[in-house]
Chain A
Amino acid sequence: QKEVEQDPGPLSVPEGAIVSLNCTYSNSAFQYFMWYRQYSRKGPELLMYTYSSGNKEDGRFTAQVDKSSKYISLFIRDSQPSDSATYLCAMSYNQAGTALIFGKGTTLSVSS
C-alpha cells in the first residue's frame, strides 16, 4: 500500500462547478498536509497547507483534513478555466524541513 493515494482522474467540469479533490494516506505520523497546483511543464506551486485536522479557507479554495479517517480534501468553488491543472496532495511528518511525500496528482480540466 502506497503511503499516499490519489485518484489521477482526469476530472472534467464546466466553469462555475464545485470541484472536490481527495487523498487518503496510511501513515498516522503525518502532521502537515499540503495541496500543490502544477500547470503543464511547470514546477508545483503551493496552494494551501493545513496542520493536523481541521479546515482552512483561502478565497475559492478550502482544504479539509480528517486525521481520524486519514483523508484530506481540497474544494474549489466557482471553478475557472484557469484552474485547469494537476493538483498534488503532499504530506510531511514535521515542520523541520523533511521531504514531502506526494500523491500521484489529479488532472483537472475546467471548460468554459
Chain B
Amino acid sequence: EAGVAQSPRYKIIEKRQSVAFWCNPISGHATLYWYQQILGQGPKLLIQFQNNGVVDDSQLPKDRFSAERLKGVDSTLKIQPAKLEDSAVYLCASRGQGGAYEQYFGPGTRLTVT
C-alpha cells in the first residue's frame, strides 16, 4: 500500500512570496489533515477535510493560508503572502475507517522563509 505522498520536499522562498504544497493521501482515505510542525514543537492541526468538505479549520490563519481538496482526493495548501514565522514542516496525514489514532503521515514539506 502506497503511503501519503507530498511535494515538494523542500522549499525556500522570500517573505511576502507565495507557495503551494501538494498532498496525495492513501487511496480510499476519506479524511485528510494538514499539520504545521515548527522546529522543536509537535505538529499542530491547520485544517481537516472529510472527503472534499472542511471539518475543522479553526487554527488556519485564513488571512494568508488557504487549502482545498478537490474531488475528495488530492489536497493543496497555499500560503500567500508568506511570513518568516511560517518556516516549518508542513505535514499531510490521512485516515481511513480506523480510529483517530490511525493517521498516516507523509514525509512533510520543509519550508524556509527568508
Contact = CB atoms under 8 A, between A and B. Distances in A.
A45 B103 CA distance: 9
A99 B102 CA distance: 11
A45 B42 CA distance: 13
A25 interface: no
Contacts of B50: 97
Interface string A66-81: 0000000000000000
B43 A45 contact: no
A19 B9 CA distance: 32
Interface stretch (B14-22, B67-75, B76-84, B93-101): B93-101
Interface string A22-51: 000000000010100000011111100100
Nearest to B50: A97
At the interface, is chain A mostly helix, strand, loop or mixed? loop
A41 B100 contact: no
B4 interface: yes
Interface residues of A, number: 26
B25 interface: no
A97 B33 CA distance: 10
B100 A100 contact: yes
A100 B56 CA distance: 12
Contacts of B99: 32, 49, 95, 97
Interface in B16-51: 31, 33, 35, 40-45, 48, 50
Interface of A: 4, 6, 8, 32, 34, 41-46, 49, 88, 90, 92, 94-100, 102-105
* 3 tightest A-B CB contacts, nearest first: A102-B42, A43-B105, A99-B45
